Structure 1
Amino acid sequence: MSRLSRVYRLAVGGFFAYKAATLLVNALTFPRLRPRPTPAGPRVSLLVPARNEAHNLPHTLPGLLAQGAHEVLVLDDGSTDGTAEVARQYGARVISGQPLPAGWHGKPWACQQLAQAARGDVLVFTDADVTWHPGALGAVLHELERSGADLLSVYPRQHNVTLGERLLTPLVDDVLLTFLPAPLLRLPHPSAAAANGQLMTFRRKAYERVGGHALVRADLLEDVAFAQRLKGRGGRLALALGEDCLGVRMYRSYPESVAGFGKNAGAFHGRSRALLLLSAAWHLAAYTLPWLLPARSLRGLPWLRAAGLLERLLVNLVSGRRAPADLAEGLLGPVTPLLTLPVYLRATRRRVSWKGREYEQGSRL
């Protein structure tokens, strides 16, 4: 075996070994929500930033309104599809969003307005596509109290229906569970942080102490940036899996997934085209190349192929997605890097569009 082949085998094998070890640690230690009754206190505001979400609200608002929170506020962020009318029809209090100020991105501005209108001691920002099942709010508040966190961010269980949405959206769980060991979140350094903007729960005093969403007013990856900056200012961060309490259907098709992930991928890679290129090339080398090489060209090749196939299956088991169709997603391992190439391409652009708005990605690209 040539020196280059040996280096390749060791590098890819080490990569899969690290991800497997991290997944095992997270399977044993990652907090998981369990349904609980909503306690009498504190006062809780459930806050929904909504821009053209009339198709989601009929499915998600009833469960949100049934949680027993002090209030449920929906901010209509310039929708053109009747979002406000749908929200009022189901009984939510609707706020009309103000025009986007210079220097702000859409979601941080919507969340800032919601926080200013809210009266709760606990602020729960939840996306319009997140489904709240019975006992979810009690579970969130219990975990907030148990962890002592200033910010608790929850990852709802992915609910994917069509083949198109199964291609990429499960990668959210893969990145969370195979790259960041949960115990590292206890480290004080801001880089040991993650968050999911689909559900972020703040103690109001901590939220106001750091300036609210003004802290991340111009960040495309505002959830992770908020977690890092809050932690850097002495705040405490906690994460949890939503399990049976919370679900989400992020995107309805492969093109929607490309647009959504393409919006964030540049920021996730430090707005560096070089890192985007290296990331794309590395994943092709790790997951796709083993299936293109001749069977006897490399010692250990069957193990590399097996690792690439098993990873998504095991991630889905840990995240609670155990239906046969969910487990079959593991077969996508070898082609997933090819499917992500449009995401990387979109992320290299200096401007990205999302929900009818365009944003600058930053000069580093």
Structure 2
Amino acid sequence: MKIHRNKEKDDHMGYISIHLIGTLIFDTIILIIALSNIWEYKRLESFSRLNNRPFISVLVPARNEEENIERCITSLINQDYPNYEIIVLNDNSTDRTGQILERLGAENDKLKVINGKELPKGWMGKNWACHQLSEVAKGEYLLFTDADTKHRPETISDSIFAMIHFDADLLNAFPRQITGTFGEKLIVPITHWSFFSFLPLFVAHRIKSTVLTLTIGQFMLFKREAYSDIGGHAAVKGSVLDDVPLGRNIKKFGLKWRLVDGMNRISCRMYTDFKSSFNGFARNLLAAFNYNTILLFWVWFWIVNVIWDPIIFLTINLFTNFMLFYEIILSLMLIIMNLILWAIAYIRFDYPIYLIFLQPIISILMFAIALKSLYQQMRGSLVWKDRKM
């Protein structure tokens, strides 16, 4: 006996089947990327110690960092590396940053404090501060690190050993991201999940494509010659971000970029609550996509669909029974794969595992952040540390 299905229903089933199969292929690809990154993403402390001790300039731009600056500088002063200088630029701070730095400078010969010049037209604040630091630095290597970071005593030593091991022109270490509040935990880990799922490091480390790169400005160690060759911060003076375009420029000039795991040596708390996390990501997100609004919108719209569609299909099917059996199985497989993908990154980077079950909410939050980033760029309303960007 033949069973005839409604043609409209069959067409609908065809769409669902194609969509689910396409999503399964997508998830499989990023699962392969994530698994390969477990092996390729080397820990900063995993390289052999060497006798070579080149002179390093540690450069810290600081603007209104009274809550963080003493902790950061103290950790840098207490390094076990014998051959380095620390230069901190007070970037016209309006809080107690200047007084704290003045006291620390008087107490420690390793530390040199300079006052930043007024921001010229066409420059972003951090880029200008880093440019000034590079002009007074004496090191063969230049280490740019943020004022809200904290460093274990072995950090500089391990970094230069890794740098020499890879013969890198830019060694970028991704610090441990400290999240205190629930709001931070919802948003901040998405950075780790994104790069671990979408950036195949095995390929990125071996080809010169500027697309396959991610650079985190919290810890960037340059060969001085390479930094000069790419034009330094002057080459990205008008960019909202300094790190991403600097990393791209390294590859653009045929130089060697390397990303390593700095979690056991460096820590950073970027934000203090949900609001600052949301606004901070909105400030940077469009710039991270090289101001490609179509790509930004498409990527996060697609991610929302990848996460939500199998959940929505199964929920509707409970009341309408409109799905074929294999489509139900595909939807369940996708939900499980999404959980596995998030678990790989969240376990690897020591985030609470319960967060993987909140991925539908997190994906909506990131889509909202993408929309706000686009809106702010269109209006020209970006502000950071009391400066319009």
When normalised by structure 2's length, the TM-score is 0.86
Match of 1:26 in 2: 37
Mapped to 2, the partners of 1:334 and 1:342 lie a distance apart of 13
Structure 1 residue 294: deviation in Å? 2.9
Q: 1:176 matched to which residue of 2?
A: 195
Counterpart contact for 2:88–2:113, Cα < 8 Å: yes
How far off its partner does 1:317 sit? 2.2
Return the match for 1:191 from 211, 224, 245: 211
Larger Rg: 2
Distance 1:272 1:40 in 2: 43
CA distance in 2, matches of 1:222, 1:176: 18
1:200 aligned onto 2:200? no
Taking a change above 3 Å as real, the CA distance of residues 315 and 265 of structure 1, as seen in their structure-2 partners, is same
2:341 is equivalent to residue 327 of structure 1: no
SS of residue matched to 2:260: strand
What's the secondary structure of 1:131's corresponding residue? strand
CA separation of 1:11 and 1:87: change in aligned 2, threshold 3 A: farther
Q: Which runs of 5+ in 2 are unaligned?
A: 1-9, 106-110, 318-322
Conservation of the 8 A alpha-carbon contact between 1:105 and 1:219: yes
**Structure 1 residues 227 and 273, CA, compared in 2 at 3 Å: closer, same or farther?**
closer
| 1:74 equivalenced with 2:88 (yes/no) | yes
Match of 2:369 in 1: 343
1:318 aligns with 2:351: no
Pairs aligned (count) = 355
TM-score, normalization by structure 1: 0.91
User: Any conservation in 2 of the 1:309–1:332 contact (CA below 8 Å)?
Assistant: no
Is 2:43 the counterpart of 1:5?
A: no
Return the match for 1:305 from 331, 335, 349. 335
8 Å CA contact retained: 1:258, 1:342: no
For residues 166 and 354 of structure 2, the distance between their equivalents in structure 1, rounded to whole angstroms, comes to: 35
| Alpha-carbon spacing, 1:110–1:116, altered in 2? closer, same or farther (3 Å) | same
Structure 2 distance, partners of 1:89, 1:40, is 33
1:46 aligned onto 2:69: no
Partner residue of 1:354? 384
In structure 1, how many angstroms separate the alpha carbons of the residues matched to 2:49 and 2:62? 27
More off after superposition, 128-137 vs 88-97:
88-97
- The one of 80, 90, 101 aligned to 2:104: 90
> What is the letter of the counterpart of residue 251 of structure 2?
K
Q: Deviations over 1:34-80 (max 9, x none)?
A: 17879672111111111111111233221111114521111111211
Deviation, structure 1 residue 203: 0.8
1:260-318 C-alpha deviation (Å, 9 max, x unpaired) = 11112112334233333323321221113332333444422122222233322210222
* C-alpha separation in 2, matches of 1:90 and 1:16: 51
- Name 1:363's counterpart in structure 2: none
User: Which whole-Å CA distance do the structure 2 matches of 1:105 and 1:45 have between them?
Assistant: 22
5 Å-filtered alignment, 1:239-278, equals: 239-278=259-298
Question: Residue type matched to 2:211 in 1?
Answer: S
Report sequence identity in percent.
Answer: 30
DSSP 3-state at the match of 2:314: coil
> Which amino acid is the alignment partner of residue 189 of structure 2?
P
Consecutive unaligned residues in structure 1, runs of 5 or more? 360-365
1:215 and 1:314 mapped to 2: Cα distance?
36
How big is the shift at 1:87? 2.4
Q: Are the counterparts in 1 of residues 286 and 292 from structure 2 also a CA contact under 8 Å?
A: yes
Determine the structure 1 residue equivalent to 2:138. Answer: 119
2:308 alignment partner, SS class = helix
Aligned to 2:253: 233
| Distance apart, 1:15 and its partner CA | 2.1
| Deviations 1:174-203 (CA, angstroms, capped at 9, x unpaired) | 122111111112112333322111111011
Larger mean CA deviation between 289-298 and 85-94 belongs to: 289-298
Higher percent of residues as helix = 2
One-letter identity of the residue aligned with 2:149: V
Amino acid aligned to 1:99: E
Counterpart for residue 320 of structure 2: none
Report the equivalent of 2:4: none
Task: Verify: 1:141 aligned to 2:160, yes or no.
Answer: yes
SS at match of 1:334: helix
- Specify the code of the residue in structure 1 equivalent to 2:18: V
